[in-house]
Amino acid sequence: MMNKSVNLTFLTIMIMGIILSVSSNSWFSVWMGMEMNLMAFMPMILQKNNMLSKESAMTYFMVQAVASMLLMVFMITMPSLNFYNMKPIMLMSILMMKSGITPFHFWLPKLMEGLNWNMCLILMTIQKITPMMMMSSLIKMNIFTMMVMITSVMVGAIGGLNQTSLRKMMGYSSISNNGWMMAAMMMSEMTWFYYFMIYSIMTVIMTKTMDNYNIFHMNQIFMMKEPLIKKMIMMMNMLSISGLPPFIGFLPKWIVIQSSLNYMNLTLIASMVMMTLITIYYYLRVMYSTMMITYSEPFWVNIMSKNSNLLMMYSTLSIIGLTMMTMLMWLY
Q: Give, for all 332 residues of the chain, the pLDDT tens digit.
A: 556 778 888 889 999 999 999 888 888 899 999 999 999 998 888 877 778 888 888 999 999 999 999 988 888 887 776 666 677 888 899 999 999 898 898 899 889 988 889 999 999 999 999 999 999 888 888 888 889 999 999 999 898 888 888 899 899 999 999 999 999 988 888 888 889 998 998 898 888 888 888 888 887 777 777 777 777 777 778 888 888 877 888 888 888 888 887 776 788 888 888 988 888 888 888 777 766 665 555 555 454 555 566 666 666 666 666 566 655 555 44
Q: In degrees, to the nearest 5, what angle opens at C-alpha 173 toward C-alphas 57 and 232?
A: 115
Could you tell me the residue ranges of all domains in the chain?
140-331
Helix axes 27-45, 4-22, angle to 10 degrees: 160
Q: Strand (E) positions, 127-255?
A: none
Q: Find all residues with CB under 8 Å of 110, minimum gap 6, and list them.
A: 56, 59, 168
Q: Strand (E) positions, 200-247?
A: none
Q: Please state, in angstroms and rounded to a whole number, the distance separating the CA atoms of residues 246 and 322.
A: 6
Query: In the Cβ-directed half-sphere of 2, how many Cα atoms lie within 13 Å?
Result: 16
Q: Find all residues with CB under 8 Å of 146, minimum gap 6, and list them.
A: 265, 268
Hey, how many other C-beta atoms are within 10 angstroms of the C-beta on 153?
28
Q: What is the pLDDT of residue 331?
A: 45
What backbone torsions phi and psi does residue 85 show, to the nearest 5 degrees? -70, -20
DSSP state letter for 165 = B
Q: Please state, in angstroms and rounded to a whole number, the distance separating the CA atoms of residues 182 and 331.
A: 29
